[in-house]
Structure 1
Amino acid sequence: MEQRVKAALEEVRPALQMDGGDVEFVGLDGGAVKVRLMGACGGCPMATMTLVGFVQERLRQRVPEVTQVVRV
């Protein structure tokens, strides 16, 4: 599952980088994926919306076992 999650994160990374941000895989805790938002995304007031509405949605599409994405 970890490799599929990392591959899905590679798919969302370019969109985040276009806005000066990035995402880093930190780990798994059951179905929860732990990530770190970096760059402009790290302090952005829209970070939660980006995480849930974009990153989490894309991961769930690619890896159905993902239950949530958690920012660390």
Structure 2
Amino acid sequence: MTEQQKQASLTERVGEVIDQLRLLVQRDGGDIQLIDVQEDTGVVSIRFRGACVGCPGAAMTLKMGIERNLKERVPEVTEVVAVR
């Protein structure tokens, strides 16, 4: 498997989990967008949208919801960060 195939595979798996988590976030009027997956470090970058922007609970959602779920379902993920 080439590095590009590994990257696509990791990005696809992360994207599938993000799509599932989006449904939960959208219930509260927010949204999340997958921005980047760094295959070499396992860092995933997302962007909060809608009601999540500026929400005091966004940090908790990021670490205890999104990051925890991604780490459980995609072991290569080491961290999830929010970008603007």
- Say whether the fold is shared (TM-score over 0.5): yes
Superposition misfits of 4+ residues, deviation over 3 angstroms: none
Return the structure number with greater strand share: 1
How many residue pairs are counted as aligned between the two chains?
Answer: 72
Pairwise CA distance, 1:19:
0.3
Structure 1 alignment gaps of length 5 or more? none
Amino acid at match of 1:4: R
- Given residue 71 of structure 2, which amino acid in structure 1 is its aligned partner? R
Corresponding residue for residue 18 of structure 1: 27
1:48 equivalent among 44, 48, 59: 59
List alignment gaps of at least 5 residues for structure 2.
1-9
Q: Which has the larger radius of gyration?
A: 2
With a CA cutoff of 8 Å and minimum separation of 6, indicate the structure with the bigger relative contact order: 1
Identity %: 43
| Structure 1 counterpart SS, 2:55 | coil
TM-score by length of 1: 0.96
Which position in structure 2 is the counterpart of 1:70?
81
Q: 2:18 aligns with which of 5, 9, 13?
A: 9
Return the alpha-carbon distance in structure 2 between the equivalents of residues 69 and 39 of structure 1.
19
Cα RMSD, aligned residues only: 0.7
